[in-house]
Amino acid sequence: MNQPSFSASLPVIRLLPKTKPQAIRHGFPWVYANELVLDRRAKSLAAGSLAVLEDAERRPMAIVAVNTHSRITARVLDRDLDAVIDQAWFEAKITRALKMRETLYDAPFYRLVHAESDGLPGVVIDRFGDTAVVQPNAAWADVMIEPLAAALAKVTGVKNILKNASGRSRSLEGLDEENGVLLGAAPDGPVPVSMNGATYLADLTGGQKTGLFFDQRPNHAFAATLSKGARVLDVFSHVGGFSLAALANGAASALAVDGSDPALELAMGGAEAMGAADRFQTRKGDAFTTLEALAAEGKTFDVVVCDPPAFAPNKQSLEAGLRAYERIARLAAPLVSEGGYLVLCSCSHAADLSKFRNASARGIGRGGRRGTLIHTGFAGPDHPLLPQLAESGYLKALFFRL
């Protein structure tokens, strides 16, 4: 006798008659609350439960993870209704993700799993050698964290797995912010990471996000090619992403500006580890205020980089965010020497490339400068973009020559 499929034991949730299923069938991985029949039975499902998604005609479409407390009520896990969501399933997903990263990078420092783009909705895993940091940003990943961690250890051989529960995404899912150790132990101090010839110090337990922003790697590299012999200003520097890469590739000097003392200390530690401390300075302060102060001091730089946090994390904040990006460009442009370069970045998925580029160009003009756009950068290939999900392609970097 045939065994019933895994999905046969799961509850069912159904699309509303008005909801067209084509987008989901063509790869869109989310189902919103206003697209589902959320009756009492559906609402009784615990956050993170697995279910079978059906269309309005009761035809099964996929195995999904459900959280009725979230606007993204269902996340597609597998379109194969015979799939079993267990440790072996996680192993297959992570193995596929790892194969590409090992093809791309010589050393095990990268984004290993980029959520929906790697088939694990809401799950981010960054690898730092024999330590991995997991961000389970969806309820189902919290519920299944043990088989996820076991699969991660088995596939990669990492000795330490940390859980990072910070960030806006978890709050939108109604989840806690309790970090923890899932395997092994937390590193005793910052972890050195080599990228683009530079050495960065990543704080995996107390730093921003998972400790380092791997997504900017190719943009750090391009900016570094413009920085040979240059005076570089790195605003919103975090642990020195752009400035340390510039120093490693021949910049004459670099000034890192950030509002965080710990981040600037890590940046200086990286410069010292590279033997570049004599060409590196830090300045703590609000970015807008510091840009104004540097202009008042008559300072100019050959390369100015501004890599702020997301000013427009959602549609509601878009207009205010675009004004902030314009203001950054307006304040930064006068600090760029004639023929120098201004690099403006955005990690706001709500501000698409066209809107961000227009806001940046307006700011440059209002700063009394003219510029040509010589390059547009995006996240590295360890942050793959799912074509059906615009949010997965959040990072933009604009390189202007003024």
Identified catalytic residue from 347, 379, 385, 397: 347
Question: What span, in angstroms and rounded, lies between the C-alpha atoms of 343 and 224?
Answer: 11
CA distances from 253 to 227, 249, 402 (A): 9, 11, 20
Q: Where is 261: in which H helix or E strand?
A: helix 261-274
Which residue in this structure is represented by tokens 């501004």? 306
How many Cβ atoms sit within 10 Å of the Cβ of residue 226? 21
Contact between 204 and 211 under an 8 Å Cβ cutoff? The reply is yes
From residue 146, alpha-carbon distances to 54, 90, 114, 141, 163 in Å are 28, 11, 19, 9, 11
C-alpha–C-alpha distance, residues 15 and 125, integer Å? 31
* Active-site residue, 347 included: yes
Asked if 164 and 174 touch (Cβ cutoff 8 Å), the reply is no
User: Is 224 exposed, middle or buried (CB count within 10 Å of its CB: 0-12, 13-18, 19+)?
Assistant: buried
Question: In whole angstroms, what is the distance from residue 386 CA to residue 349 CA?
Answer: 13
CA distance 149 to 86: 11
Are 394 and 347 in contact, with CB atoms under 8 Å apart?
yes
Which sequence positions are flagged as catalytic? 347
